[in-house]
Structure 1
Amino acid sequence: MFKKTLAGMFGLLISLAACQSPDNAQTEQTETQETTAVADTTQRTPRPKPENYSFKGVEKKRVYICMDPTDDLFHQKHDCPVLVSCASTFRNLTLPRAVEAFDRYNCETCSADLAYVFDESAVRMETGLGDK
């Protein structure tokens, strides 16, 4: 009886192993790795540091940044789709620090209303360098 049960279990194991197709699994894994590699190589280089900016009225505003070296955006919302797709860690810091220390620009998805921070004419008028 024990030999029949053991033989039955052994037969079941062999049939399960025969159903597995390791070639297909390897092909799918290779395709996934190739797709990931293509996505990683298409990352853009970050823009140069912002030259003109003014934080009047938003000096204490807190924003989020992705610590990925290719990212150059700050986000107002922690659940912004662009920020959530970050493969690195997040940081929460003040807007002036995000711009001055980390060279970040506003995210068009969640921070479009802060684009005025980089408006050159507004910065010139505030500093007294604009035409009056």
Structure 2
Amino acid sequence: MFKKTLAGMCGLLISLAACQSPDNAQTEQTDAQESTAIADTTKREPRPKPEYYSFKGLEKKRVYICMDPSEDTFHQKHDCPVLISCASTFRNLTLPRAVEAFGRYNCETCSADLAYVFDENAVRMETGLQGQ
């Protein structure tokens, strides 16, 4: 009796597994391809290196950057959603190096409070270039 029940249950499990629709897997794969295509089309050319910036008091501030050539922002938080979506690796470095060596701007999601670093008027007043 036990062998018949066991054999029946095995047969039932095998038939259930065989009845799984391959269309589900294909639909999921198609969805993944579409989202990848959308992500690829949103890539843009990075902005040119900032001309005006001042790091007064922020010389040792550490930030993160994505090493993808199409990226042009730095991030204060390692778990920033924009940084997490980075398709490449990311690095932790000082703010001055991120801007001067890599031409990065502040991320509007996690570093909006550092936008003043690029304020042209503040940089001019600090360097004494008001009349130029």
Q: Give the TM interval when normalised to the shorter protein.
A: 0.7 to 0.9
Q: 1:47 to 1:28 in 2, by over 3 A?
A: same
Aligned length: 131
AA aligned to 2:52 is N
AA aligned to 1:125 is M
Partner SS for 1:37: helix
Partner of 2:129: 129
- Are 1:119 and 2:132 matched, yes or no? no
Q: Which moved more, 1:21-30 or 1:52-61?
A: 21-30
Q: Deviations over 1:63-103 (max 9, x none)?
A: 11111221111111212222222222111101110001111
Partner of 1:106: 106
Partner SS for 2:45: coil
Partner of 2:62: 62
Q: Percent identity?
A: 87
1:16: Cα distance to partner?
Answer: 3.8
Supply the distance in 2 between the matched residues of 1:36 and 1:113 (Cα, whole angstroms).
31
Q: 1:13 to 1:77 in 2, by over 3 A?
A: closer
1:34: Cα distance to partner?
Answer: 2.0
- Are 1:88 and 2:88 matched, yes or no? yes
Structure 1 gaps, min length 5? none
RMSD: 2.5
Supply the distance in 2 between the matched residues of 1:23 and 1:109 (Cα, whole angstroms).
38
AA aligned to 2:96 is P
Q: How does 1:65-80 map to 2 (within 5 A)?
A: 65-80=65-80
- Are 1:20 and 2:20 matched, yes or no? yes
Structure 2 gaps, min length 5? none
Q: Deviations over 1:39-67 (max 9, x none)?
A: 22122221111011111111111111111
Supply the distance in 2 between the matched residues of 1:54 and 1:109 (Cα, whole angstroms).
21
Q: 1:63 to 1:13 in 2, by over 3 A?
A: same
Q: 1:110 to 1:27 in 2, by over 3 A?
A: closer
Supply the distance in 1 between the matched residues of 2:60 and 2:28 (Cα, whole angstroms).
49
Supply the distance in 2 between the matched residues of 1:72 and 1:126 (Cα, whole angstroms).
25
Q: TM-score, normalised by structure 1?
A: 0.81
